[in-house]
A and B are shown apart, each in its own frame.
Chain A
Amino acid sequence: METSRTPASGAGQAGTTPAQEERVWKAGRLEPMPIRPLPDAPPSVHILGPTVFLVALGVGMGESYMWPRLVLLFGPEIRWLFLIGVTLQAVVMLEMARYAMATGESIFFGAARVFKPLMWFFFAVAILVYIWPGHLSAGAAAFEKITGIPWVVTACVGLVLVGIVFSLAKVIYNLLENVLSILIGTLVVGTAIIAAMVGSWQDLSSTITGMFAFGYIPDEALSPTWFPVIVGSIAFAGPSGMQQMWYTLHLRDSGAGMGAHIPKIRGLRHAGEEEAMPSRGFMFDTDNPEEMRKWKGWRRWVTFDAFLLFWGITMLVTVSFTVLAQAASRQNSNVKELILAGDREASLNAMSDSFSSAGSSVLGAVFLGFIALIGLNATLGLFDSFSRGQADMSYHFVPGAKKFGISKLYAGFLWAVIIFGILILLFGPADGPGAILDTLAFLSTFAMGAYCVTLLLVNNRMLPKPIRPKLYTNLIIGFGAVFYLGMLFYSLFKYGVVLD
C-alpha cells in the first residue's frame, strides 16, 4: 500500500484526507476508506461461520431434484458439469469474501465504487427476480402432502411468521444463524446416514469417475429440450442468482475481517438501539506485516468454510439425493417417467409414494419432511438476504434513505416482499407473470456472469495490491464469467430457449 500523505485521486490509491490527516484508502470515486486495525482471525478453524447461510440458500432444488434428474437421464458422467459448477461457486465465494473481509463493505458497494449503474443493475435484478414467491411452493406442497393443510395457507402463514420473527429479533443475524444451524445440522447428519447405508464404494467411485468425465455431453443433451435444462442445472449447482452477493452482507454482519467495524442490522422492534451505519467501509494497513499475518488467518478461515462446509455439504446432499432418486426409480418405473417429464412436484410426490409403498407411510413423510426442510431453509434465507441487500444499497445510495436507518429499511423491504408475496399467492402467478418468466430466468443466470465480471473489477481495482487476487484466481473467475454467459447466450441463440 502506498502511504503517501498527499491526497490522491482515482481508483485504488492510498492517501490522506487533509482535514484530519488520517490515512485512508481511496477506491473509485466514492468516499475513501479510513485505515483501521484488522481484528484477529478466529484462533482455530471453527466450524460455525456465516457459510451456514450460503449452505442454507444453496442446498435447494438444484441438489435435491435437478441433478438427480440429470443423472437418471444421462448417467453419472454428466456430473462433471456439477463438479465444475460447485467448485466455481466455492472460488466465487472466496473472492466475494476477499472484498467483504478487507473492507467491511458489501460487494454491491464495491460495484458502486467501480461504476454506480452496475450496482443499480443488481438492485433492479434482485427486485425483478426475487419478489415472486414461487420458491415457497415446493416446500409448502411437501408440507401439504404430509399434513393435508393447503399449501397456499402454509405459504401465507409462513410468510407472516417470517416477517414477525425477523421484526422482533434483537439482532437478526444471531437468530437466523441459530435456526438455520439446527436445520442444516439435522439435514447433514441425516444425509450422511443415508449415504452411508445406501451407497457403496462402487457408487462413490462411479460418481467420482463421473465427475471427472470432462467433456462428456451425450447427443440428446444437445437438443432444444435438454440443453436449457443442463444450463439451468449448472446455474443452480450451489447458490444461484444473487445469493453469493448476499453472502458478503452476512460476512459483514458476522463481524468477519473488517466487517467487525460495521454495526449489525437489528429487528424492527429494536431498531431504536441501532448504531449509526458508517457511510463507507474501512481498510487495514497492508504494509504492516502483523496486519498481513492476521489477514492470512482470515483467508484460512474462509477457505476452510468454502471447501469443507460449502463444497463438502453441497456434494454430500446432492450425492445422497441422487442415490435416493435412483432407488425410487428402480422401485417404481413411473417415478422415472415423471422425473424425466420434468414436473417437479409430481416427481417428488411420486418418489415419496414409492418410499411409502416400499416401507410405510412414515417414510414417505420423512422424505417430504426433508424437502419441506430444504424449502424452509431457502425461504428464510432468501427473504432475509433480499431485504438485507436492498436495504444496504438503498441506505448508501438512495438520497434521504439514511435518515430511516438501515434496520428500518431492512424491515421495509422485508414486509414489502412479504405483503406482495401474499397478494401474489392469493391472486396471481406465484413464479411471476408467464410472459416474463423467460426474462426472469435469463436475468438470474445473467446476474451470475455479471457478478464474476464485477468481482474481477472490484478485487483488482479497488483493493491494495498485496491483497489482490492471484492470476490463477482471476483466470478461474474469468472462466466463470465466460462459462455462465457463454452457455446462457449459446442456449438463447442456438435453441431460442433461455433455460429451464
Chain B
Amino acid sequence: MDRARLHAEVALPGLLIGVIAGAMAGGLTLLAGNSGAWALVSALSLAVPLGLLGAGYGFLLGRSLFQPGVFAPAGLYWLVGFPLARLIQEAVTSHVVFGRVALSDELLFFLAYQAVVSLGFAIGFVWLHERLAPHWFMRIARHNPVAHELLERYIAHAENLWRARERRRAMRQGEKGAR
C-alpha cells in the first residue's frame, strides 16, 4: 500500500469528525428559515474544509508532529484552520445564493470572532478524536504501519499506566501483608 493511502487511512477519524461537525451547519441554516438548497450549500461548504482540516490533523498526528491528546498544538491548528473553514463557507454560500461574496461581519471582526470560537471547537474535536481514533487504529494496524506506530504510542501510554497501577497494587498488597 502506498504511503499516501496509509496516511489517508489514519486521517479518517479526523475527517469524519470534521465532516459531521460541518454537516450540522445545514441544520442550522434551515433553522434560520432558509431554503433546503441554501442549507445544502452551507453544509457542504463547511463540511469539506472542516473534513479536510480534520484529516490534516490525523495526517500530522501520523507524522508525529502532534502528540496524541496534547491540546496546545491542536488548539493552535484550529485557531488558524477553523476561521479559514468558516471564511470559505461564508464566501461560497453567499456566492452561490446571492451571486456575490459577502461576509456577515467585517473581515477582521469575522476572523477574530471565529478564532475565539475555534477554541471550543478544538476542545470538542480533540476530545472526540481521542475517544474514537484508537479503536480505528486497532482495526487497521495489521496492514497499516503508520496506524501501527500510532497505536503503539497509545499502547505505550496505556502500558505505563498499567505498570504504575501494578506497582501500586503490589505496594498495597505488601502493606496488607505487613499488617
Q: Do A and B come from one complex?
A: yes
Q: Give, as a whole number of angstroms, the nearest-CB distance from A74 to chain B.
A: 24
Which residue of chain B lies nearest to A178 when distances are taken between CB atoms in the complex? B131
Which residue of chain B lies nearest to A276 when distances are taken between CB atoms in the complex? B176
Which residue of chain B lies nearest to A355 when distances are taken between CB atoms in the complex? B31
Which residue of chain A lies nearest to B90 when distances are taken between CB atoms in the complex? A197
Count, chain B residues at interface, CB 8 A: 55
Q: Give, as a whole number of angstroms, the nearest-CB distance from B122 to chain A.
A: 8
Q: Is the CB of B120 within 8 A of A312?
A: yes
Q: Is the CB of A358 within 8 A of B124?
A: no
* A148 neighbours in B (Cβ, 8 Å): none
- Report the bound CA distance from A182 to B126 in whole Å: 11
* A191 neighbours in B (Cβ, 8 Å): 120
Interface positions of A from 326 to 379, Cβ below 8 Å from B:
327, 331, 355, 358-360, 362-363, 366
Q: Is the CB of A200 within 8 A of B113?
A: yes
Which residue of chain B lies nearest to A198 when distances are taken between CB atoms in the complex? B28
Q: Is the CB of B31 within 8 A of A39?
A: no
Q: Is the CB of A196 within 8 A of B72?
A: no
Q: Give, as a whole number of angstroms, the nearest-CB distance from B177 to chain A.
A: 12
Q: Is the CB of B28 within 8 A of A194?
A: yes
Q: Is the CB of B27 within 8 A of A362?
A: yes
- CB contact under 8 A between A309 and B123, given known A46-B69, A359-B32: yes
Scan B114-137; emit 1 where CB is below 8 A from any A CB, else 0.
101111110111111011100000
Of the stretches A90-98, A255-263, A400-408, the one at the interface is A255-263
Q: Is the CB of B24 within 8 A of A44?
A: no
Which residue of chain A lies nearest to B123 when distances are taken between CB atoms in the complex? A188
- CB contact under 8 A between A48 and B69, given known A185-B124, A192-B124, A204-B113: yes
* A197 neighbours in B (Cβ, 8 Å): 25, 28-29, 86
Which residue of chain A lies nearest to B46 when distances are taken between CB atoms in the complex? A193
Q: Which residue of B71, B72, B124 contacts A188 across the interface (Cβ within 8 Å)?
A: B124
Q: Is the CB of B121 within 8 A of A192?
A: yes
Q: Is the CB of A260 within 8 A of B164?
A: yes
- Report the bound CA distance from A308 to B82 in whole Å: 18
- Report the bound CA distance from A166 to B35 in whole Å: 45
- Report the bound CA distance from A189 to B121 in whole Å: 5
Interface positions of B from 147 to 171, Cβ below 8 Å from A:
161, 164-165, 168-169, 171
Q: Is the CB of B127 within 8 A of A185?
A: yes
Of the stretches B1-9, B57-65, B103-111, B138-146, the one at the interface is B103-111
Scan A440-476; emit 1 where CB is below 8 A from any B CB, else 0.
0000000000000000000000000000000000000
Q: Which residue of B30, B86, B127 contacts A47 across the interface (Cβ within 8 Å)?
A: B127
Which residue of chain A lies nearest to B33 when distances are taken between CB atoms in the complex? A358
Q: Is the CB of B70 within 8 A of A184?
A: no
- CB contact under 8 A between A366 and B125, given known A44-B67, A48-B69: no
23 contacts between A and B (CB under 8 A): A39-B164, A45-B72, A178-B131, A185-B128, A188-B123, A189-B121, A189-B124, A192-B117, A193-B24, A194-B24, A196-B82, A200-B109, A200-B113, A201-B109, A201-B112, A255-B164, A260-B168, A261-B168, A276-B176, A312-B123, A313-B123, A359-B29, A359-B31
Which residues does B use to contact A, with CB under 8 Å? 17, 20-22, 24-25, 27-34, 39, 46, 67, 69-72, 82, 86, 104-105, 109-110, 112-114, 116-121, 123-128, 130-132, 161, 164-165, 168-169, 171-172, 175-176, 178
Which residues does A use to contact B, with CB under 8 Å? 20, 36, 39, 44-48, 178, 181-182, 184-202, 204, 255, 260-261, 263, 275-276, 278, 304, 308-309, 312-313, 316, 327, 331, 355, 358-360, 362-363, 366
